[in-house]
Structure 1
Amino acid sequence: MKQTETSLAADPCAAPTAAVALFRSLGDPARLAILRRLAEGEARVTDLVTCVGLAQSTVSAHLSCLRECGLVVSRPVGRASLHSLARPELLDLLAAAEQLLAATGEAVDLCPTYGIPSATEESTR
């Protein structure tokens, strides 16, 4: 049994802190967009800036977070760095998430806590 399975079996009602941190790191739209781009192959910060449409400093901060979480690695190439996914399992996780979202239809988007707020909800805030 893997360590994650062991920790879940020990107390199925306790959220594993590592899993919470992982999903929080994936919960930011910019970081998720960066990971989706890196799933296609290595990229420089300037490539990611173009892809996600954020400032270079913001993309660099997101990459720093993803590196600290062990999800992204980088290697120097001249004066730049090429960034890539650290673990191929991340591709499986992203694919599983897409399958789950396809299976649930719009339910996640319509979730009152985490979904996209409707125009009516926005006007009442």
Structure 2
Amino acid sequence: MDRCGDVGPAVALFRSLADPARLALVQRLTEGEARVVDLTRALGLAQSTVSKHLACLRGCGLVDYRVQGRQSFYSLARPELIDLLRSAELVLAETGAAVALCPIYGEPADVAESAS
């Protein structure tokens, strides 16, 4: 038996949040529901990009929507994501530089340094 247990669902969750556009969408939706047009304006993303990522997040069960007239309003399907993101912010506050410079998952040192 695998000593790590079944981490597949957790890996899928974190992969779904690893894309910058999807993470930005989830972060914006922590503020409340929004239409695609609201999300494109707030995040500066193309409508097709927002729609594609919302479909992905809906498929993962993280985002839901309701229809009102001809408009769809998107919201977090799992409010627990707010706590997850807050916890991530706390971890990053303590380890941010170390995580950003991680040789496997972080940015190359020259990119991280130029962003400082």
TM-score, length-normalised on structure 2?
0.88
How many angstroms apart in 2 are the aligned matches of 1:120 and 1:17? 31
Query: How much identity, in percent, do the aligned residues show?
Result: 63
**What are structure 2's unaligned runs of at least 5 residues?**
none
Question: Using a 3 Å threshold, how does the CA distance of structure 1 residues 62 and 114 change in structure 2: closer, same or farther?
Answer: same
- In the alignment, which of 86, 91, 111 is matched to residue 102 of structure 2? 111
- Counterpart in 2 of 1:43? 34
Aligned residues: 112
Structure 1 runs, 4 residues or longer, greater than 4 Å off: none
Q: Is structure 2 residue 14 aligned with structure 1 residue 23?
A: yes
TM-score normalized with structure 1 length: 0.82
Larger Rg: 1
> Unaligned regions of 5+ residues in structure 1, if any?
1-9
Indicate the residue corresponding to 1:73 in structure 2: 64
Q: How big is each residue's C-alpha offset from its partner over 1:54-77, in whole Å with a ceiling of 9 and x where there is no partner?
A: 110110000000000000000011
Q: How much has 1:11 moved relative to structure 2?
A: 4.7
Structure showing greater relative contact order (alpha-carbon pairs closer than 8 Å, 6 or more residues apart): 2
1:63 to 29, 35, 54: 54
